[in-house]
C-alpha cells in the first residue's frame, strides 16, 4: 500500500473522556516528497494521535505541493484538537481518526470503492448528533437543545448517525448535488456526476462519472461511466442483502425508474422501469432472432454485457433480450436449442 498521510482538526466530546466525534482532513496526501516524508517518519509514527500546530508547521514548510501546503498552514491557525494519521499498511481500522481518513480518501478520489480495508469501521465510528452547530455527542444533545432555546436560538438536528454528509467535509470538483443530505462521507463522485433530489450514494460506493443518479447507490456498488440510474431505482449493496457479492454496473447502462438490480451488470445493459432483477429471478433468454434460448436464474447472467431486461406485457414473464455472443450459457441451456 502507498503510504497515506493526513493532518486534520478533530471534534471531541465535552466530557472528561474527550472521545473523538469526527475528524476533518482538508488535504490527505499519498507518499510525499523526500523532505516531507523524512519529516513525517522522524516525528510521527504510523497510526494516529494528537499533534501541535508547531509540528504541522514543520510539515508545511517541507511540502512542495501548493494546495497541501496551504491546507497545512490553515490548520496551524488552531492548536485545538489537531490530529494526524499515518497509514503504512491497509489494515483494519483501529481509531476514529483512521476511519475518517479512509472515508476522506474515497470522497477526495484518492481511493476507489472496495479498494480499502474498512473492517471495524462501524465499531470505530461513534453515533453522533449532526447539528447546525456541528457534531455533538448524543448524550450531550438534550442539554445543548435546552441551552439553545434558553438563548432564543433554534439548534437544528439534521441526523443522529455514524456517517455525516459528505459536503461538510469534501466537495469534489465537477459535480452537481441536488440534496447534500443524501450523500454520505465516503461516497466517490467522479467528475461529471449529477445527483438529483432522489439520488443517494452510500459510503464506499460511487459513480465513476459522468453519470446521472436519480436512484440509490448502495454500499460497495460502483456505477460505470455514462451509466444512469432512473428515479427511485436501486442497487443491492453488501449491507442490504447482497451478501459477499459486489454489485457493479458497467458503462453506458440504464436502470429505469423504480427498477433495480441485485446482480452485477456489464456494459450497455438496460433494465426497464419497474423491474427488479435479483440473483434468483427466473429469466427467459431470447436471442436477436427472437428465439427462446432457455430459462436461467439472474445469477447466471451476472456481469454480462449487451442485455435488455423487460417484463413481457402479455405473459408477465421476465425476459432478457440479447445476442448469443453477449453471454456464455451453460451446457444445459445449450441443449434446449
CATH number, domain with residue 9: 3.30.70.2010
Residue 78's pLDDT is what?
80
Looking at the structure, do residues 51 and 92 belong to the same domain, yes or no? Answer: yes
Q: Please tell me whether residues 275 and 301 are part of one structural domain.
A: yes
Put simply, whether the predicted model's pTM sits higher than 0.85 gets the answer yes
Higher pLDDT, 77 or 226: 226
The confidence band for 126, taking pLDDT boundaries of 50, 70 and 90, is: very high
**Residues 224-248: tens digit of each pLDDT:** 999 999 999 999 987 655 456 789 9
Lowest-pLDDT choice from 42-51, 127-136, 231-240: 42-51
The least confident of 59-73, 108-122, 192-206, 236-250 is 236-250
The answer to whether residues 135 and 217 belong to one domain is: no
Do both 39 and 178 map to the same domain? no
191 with 45, same domain: the answer is no
Residues 105 and 197 in one domain: no
How large is the average pLDDT for residues 296-301?
Answer: 95
If you average pLDDT over every residue of the chain, what do you get?
A: 89
**Shared domain check, 173 and 115:** no
Are 259 and 295 part of one and the same domain? Answer: yes
- Please report, for the domain that includes residue 215, its CATH number: 2.160.10.10
Predicted confidence at residue 289, as pLDDT, reads 87
Task: Check if the beta carbon of residue 227 is closer than 8 Å to that of residue 212.
Answer: no
Are residues 26 and 147 both part of a single domain? no
Mean pLDDT of 176-183: 97
pLDDT tier, 330 (very low <50, low <70, confident <90, very high otherwise): very low
| 283 and 172 fall within a common domain | yes
Task: Answer yes or no: do 116 and 243 share one domain.
Answer: no
Asked whether residue 52 carries a pLDDT value surpassing 60, the answer given is: yes
**What's the whole-number mean pLDDT along residues 51-71?**
82
Is 145 found in the same domain as 45? Answer: no
One of 91, 140, 214, 251 is an active-site residue; which one? 214
Number of domains composing the chain? 3
Q: Print the domain residue range for 143.
A: 130-161
Active site residue 214: yes
Amino acid at each position: 500500500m502507498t503510504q497515506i498521510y493526513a493532518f486534520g482538526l478533530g471534534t471531541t466530546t465535552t466530557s472528561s473522556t474527550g472521545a473523538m466525534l469526527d475528524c476533518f482532513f482538508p488535504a490527505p496526501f499519498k507518499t510525499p516528497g523526500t523532505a516531507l516524508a523524512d519529516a513525517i517518519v522522524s516525528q510521527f509514527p504510523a497510526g494516529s494521535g494528537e499533534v501541535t500546530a508547531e509540528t504541522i508547521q514543520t510539515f508545511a514548510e517541507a511540502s512542495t505541493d501548493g494546495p497541501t501546503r496551504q491546507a497545512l498552514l490553515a490548520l496551524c491557525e488552531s492548536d485545538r484538537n489537531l490530529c494526524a494519521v499515518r497509514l503504512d499498511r491497509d489494515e483494519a481500522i483501529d481509531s476514529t481518526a483512521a476511519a475518517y481518513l479512509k472515508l476522506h480518501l474515497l470522497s477526495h478520489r484518492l481511493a476507489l470503492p472496495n479498494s480499502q480495508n474498512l473492517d471495524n469501521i462501524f465499531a470505530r465510528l461513534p453515533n453522533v448528533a449532526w447539528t447546525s452547530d456541528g457534531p455533538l455527542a448524543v448524550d450531550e444533545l438534550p442539554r445543548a437543545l435546552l441551552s439553545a432555546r434558553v438563548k432564543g436560538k433554534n439548534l437544528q438536528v439534521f441526523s443522529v448517525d455514524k456517517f455525516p454528509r459528505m459536503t461538510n467535509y469534501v466537495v469534489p470538483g465537477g459535480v452537481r448535488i441536488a440534496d447534500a443530505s443524501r450523500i454520505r462521507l465516503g461516497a466517490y463522485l467522479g467528475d461529471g456526476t449529477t445527483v438529483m433530489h432522489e439520488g443517494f450514494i452510500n459510503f464506499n460506493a460511487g459513480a465513476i462519472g459522468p453519470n446521472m443518479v436519480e436512484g440509490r447507490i448502495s454500499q460497495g456498488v460502483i456505477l460505470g461511466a455514462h451509466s444512469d440510474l432512473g428515479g427511485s431505482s436501486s442497487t443491492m449493496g453488501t449491507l442490504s442483502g447482497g451478501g459477499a457479492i459486489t454489485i457493479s454496473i458497467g458503462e453506458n447502462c440504464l436502470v429505469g425508474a423504480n427498477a433495480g438490480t441485485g446482480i452485477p451488470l456489464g456494459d450497455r445493459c438496460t433494465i426497464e422501469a419497474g423491474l427488479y432483477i435479483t440473483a434468483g429471478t427466473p429469466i427467459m433468454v431470447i436471442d436477436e432472432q427472437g428465439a427462446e434460448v432457455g430459462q436461467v436464474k439472474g445469477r447466471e447472467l451476472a456481469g454480462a454485457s449487451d442485455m435488455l431486461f423487460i417484463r413481457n406485457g402479455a405473459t408477465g414473464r421476465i425476459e432478457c433480450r440479447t445476442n448469443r455472443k453477449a453471454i456464455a450459457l451453460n451446457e444445459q441451456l445449450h441443449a434446449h436449442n
